[in-house]
Amino acid sequence: MKQINLDQTPPLTIARALAAEFAKTAVARDQLGGTPKAERDALRASGLLTLIIPKAQGGLGASWSETLAIVRELARVDSSVAHVFAFQHLLLATVQLFGQPEQWQPWFEQTVAKRWFWGNALNPLDPRTLSTAHGHWYEFHGEKSFCSGATDSDMLIASAQSGDKQGLLIAAIPTTRQGIHLRQDWDNMGQRQTDSGSAQFDHVRVEAGEVLLNPGPLSTPRSCLRPLIAQLILTNIYLGIAEGALHEARQYSLEQRRLWPASLATSANKDPFTLLHYGEFFAALEGARLLTDRAGEQLDEAWHKQAQLSESARGQLAVSIAAAKVAASRTGLDLTSRIFDVTGARATTAARRLDRFWRNLRVHSLHDPLDYKLQELGDWALNGQFPTPSFYS
């Protein structure tokens, strides 16, 4: 890939250049699966992995809105790379929100200096990894599924169940720590280059200073921002996938679509039913875009309030993000399936893999059930009840 001068280039410009590169191989890599090593290294080289790191620690000091815009930009062409890129920032947020500055500041500085890529081993719904306390250290032992971006990472955010009142322990540890085994067992129908496979923790030693206990997970309104950031990342990825699908469909419709004999139009791009579909795509996408962007701005505000963030401000943000997520999921699933109605049968060639948009979104939109997101929104709309904070709300 060509070199990009990071010094004066705005991050979004860098991201667009990277996206243009990633687009060239996205179809081939969707077929291959596995680790997008070259793309991960390009992200490392781009400096964009430090987007959300404050300038005080040497990062780019971007806002969440800016960061999410870049996530969406990448998702338009490659939602797997967008996913692991976004989780980099979610994990950096995790250590900030759950831990103390003495913990995360050095990690941030090293992330900048050593271009660390962070990976995920946190899945709170998988209780198989257990933690045992040993004075100044803990032992993590057991299995963990859905460890997106753990392969080829430098640092891991891992979780384990303690048997006592501490509940879920979350720690930041080097991926090379002895006893960590990452299995290359992710082979799913979509998001194929996210390495969301399983990990094994074989009597892994975790130092006390690596555990995020103060304030710890979901302990304060601010620490409860973490799941909201995760949900808004998902939303931006869904939206990016839909936008990418529409972009490719449009190219195909304009270049290749043939006029159906029974059409009253004189060219395929003026066929009434084709225009009806595109009109519906556009109107739905616009709504999802506005909801998603508004939620991003509200996240920026909530983030800046630091410890002053109130429960109700956090609740309002949760509602905005949930509404955006519902819109992006539904619009995206509908659009990525219906694009074929405006391209026709020949667009199903494996050479284009236009189905990857639906496959990627279908997989990613199962992160947590949309029905329960709607139930939360309903509880707000009917009962004025904010979503109860959890790792999914």
Of 203 and 258, CB closest to its own copies: 258
Beta bridge partners of 137: 134, 207
Of 205 and 367, CB closest to its own copies: 367
- Whole-angstrom Cα distance, residue 254 to residue 267? 10
Instruction: Give the nearest distance from C-beta 266 to its own copies in angstroms.
Output: 9
Of 139 and 293, CB closest to its own copies: 293
- Whole-angstrom Cα distance, residue 328 to residue 270? 27
Structure tokens at 295: 């939620």
Instruction: Give the nearest distance from C-beta 286 to its own copies in angstroms.
Output: 5
Of 222 and 325, CB closest to its own copies: 325
DSSP string, 212-254: --SS-TT-STTTTHHHHHHHHHHHHHHHHHHHHHHHHHHHHHH
Instruction: Give the nearest distance from C-beta 294 to its own copies in angstroms.
Output: 6
- Whole-angstrom Cα distance, residue 181 to residue 143? 10
**Hey, what amino acid is at 264?**
L
Of 105 and 337, CB closest to its own copies: 337
Instruction: Give the nearest distance from C-beta 279 to its own copies in angstroms.
Output: 3
Of 89 and 359, CB closest to its own copies: 359
Instruction: Give the nearest distance from C-beta 375 to its own copies in angstroms.
Output: 5
Intra-chain end-to-end CA distance of the chain, in Å:
39
- CB neighbours of 78 closer than 8 A, spacing ≥ 6? 19, 22, 23, 26, 29, 36, 39, 193
Beta bridge partners of 131: 140, 162
Instruction: Give the nearest distance from C-beta 339 to its own copies in angstroms.
Output: 10
